Amino acid sequence: MTPEEMNERDILEFTDDEGHTLLLQVTDYFFYNGEEYAALRDAESEEAGEDPAYIMKVNAFTDENGEEMEEFVLPDESLLETLAGVLRTKFETEAE
């Protein structure tokens, strides 16, 4: 996959604890308690409607060159079930 294709589809590259590369596609952005989160799934999956595999907090910041950047981090484990519920409700509302 070319860098241009990755940007078009909002695909991010992560490295897991074992050094494996993961390509994840952002399927949705949402807010909870004033914080932005992203739902992501395997970018190489053919299932377009597949449920997100990850929920990550989006931290926006400005780098030393003044460019807006985003950092994706795992939220606190205690918050994951709540975030999954928010996301399910959002998807159900959009489906109606």
Average pLDDT of the segment spanning 32-42: 93
CA distance 85 to 4: 33
Q: What pLDDT, on a 0 to 100 scale, did the predictor assign at position 3?
A: 52
Q: What pLDDT, on a 0 to 100 scale, did the predictor assign at position 65?
A: 93
* Dihedral sign for Cα atoms in the order 70, 76, 80, 83: negative
Q: What is the pLDDT of residues 70-84, one digit of tens each?
A: 999 999 999 999 999
Mean pLDDT of the chain: 84
What is the token pair recorded at 41? 């799934």
